[in-house]
Amino acid sequence: MSFLPVGEQLEIIRRGTTEIIPEEELKNKLQRSYDSGKPLRIKLGCDPTRPDLHLGHSVILRKLRQFQDLGHHAILIIGDFTGMIGDPTGQNKTRPALTVEDVRANGQTYFEQAAKILDPEKTEIVYNSDWLGKMSFEDVIKLASNYTLARMIERDDFTNRFKNEDPIALHEFLYPLAQGQDSVHLKSDVELGGIDQKFNLLVGRHLQKEAGLEQQVCLMMPLLVGTDGVQKMSKSYDNYIGLNDAPNDMYGKMLRVPDELIYTYYELLTDIPVQDLPALKAKAAADPRNSKHELAWTVTRMYYDAGAADAARDHFEKTIINKEIPDEMPEFTFESGQTHKLIHLIKEVKFAPSNGEARRLIQQGGVSLDGENIDDVNYEVTFSGGEALVLKVGKRKFGRLVSPPNPNTKKLVW
């Protein structure tokens, strides 16, 4: 197989990385791969504890895709076994256990979303229960003998919990060992992870040495800061942009990104060539408003297409800048004479994930009917035959609530 020269590969691989341990070994591995025509084995593990991915997850997935494009072998591990233990990284308490069924179901959804970034035909998908689940108790004891408690407790989250006298369950110490055993089993040349995974990745490197294998290189990526500009991107902080977000939502959320993060988002989330990044950095500093719109268009185009990105930009200009009602919006049909609480309506048309979130939106002044702002959480809507109301939730969600003239018309199910 033909590879790019090692220097060119390294330039692409270094893009956006926080740390490579050790980089000299990566260079040597790439040179050997170049000389032999044999691709490196690049490992990325994911514990699908939640079924939905956001742009924060895309940072490390895109790095795996870069290795794919360079001709190397990508291995995506669905941690259906480690997911049941729960990664203690960054936790101040023991994670609740998940069932095999939950992890497997989340894993399927995870891969479907990851396939928006990876080349699915060139990605090897494995489940670590295939080898970890077959280990005997004797095997686990032998595995645990390769690492000391003193080294394990050096880990920041364990150290802090120990000092604060917060409980640490014994099985949590097994998590880094189980993840490291993945590296032994797969004989990975490189393991990818967020910077918060550094300890786990180094354990894998150590276990490979104990097993008499060539050690993997550990490549860490930064944690993407969310749209609030403070916390890492997470659904828990409501500062995320989902990979499955609709184009209008993806475009609109991207415009919330603070000016100082525009360049970082370009670097970590887009395909802009490395040589073009310095000019983009200067432009973002000089003209953040237009740079942010270009960033929003670029990211939306990547996950949809240019037409969807154009439509999202037009939608933003009409509904946010010009405060117009869009010509096209989803319609929801209700029987004439029915009365519904507005909170329930918002959840039912899926403009909010829960009644509680719908209540919050109303209280914050983010809901209107036919242009009239509604701030009463007990507000009710009674439908009359032939009526059509425009419901607006937040800045980008519009829906037409329709009541047919015929009172016997059945409510549509969506």
Annotated binding site for ATP: 235
Query: H helices within 146-276, ranges in order?
Result: 149-153, 156-163, 170-186, 198-210, 247-254, 262-269
- Dmax (CA) for the chain in angstroms is 77
Report d(CA 379, CA 374) in Å as an integer. Answer: 8
N-term to C-term CA, the chain: 50
54 pairs with which residues across the strands? 242
Q: What six digits make up the tokens of 49? A: 């504890």
Q: What are phi and psi of 393, to 5 degrees?
A: -125, 120
**Euclidean distance between CA atoms 39 and 42, whole angstroms:** 9
- CA–CA–CA angle 200, 201, 203 (5° rounding): 65
Annotated binding site: 235
Q: What is the dihedral of CA 211, 217, 218, 222, to 10 degrees?
A: -170
Instruction: Give the span between the Cα atoms of 199 and 156, in whole angstroms.
Output: 9
Judged by DSSP in three states, 213 sits in coil
17 CB-contact burial (10 Å; exposed 0-12 / middle 13-18 / buried 19+): middle
Q: What is the CA radius of gyration of the chain?
A: 25
> Which residue is listed with tokens 């959804």?
109
Structure tokens at 42: 């690049």
From CA 32, how far away is CA 40, in angstroms rounded?
9
Q: Classify 219 as helix, strand or coil.
A: strand
Cβ(362)–Cβ(379) below 8 Å: yes
Contact between residue 192 and residue 42 where contact means Cβ atoms under 8 Å apart:
yes
Whether 93 contacts 142, CB under 8 Å: no
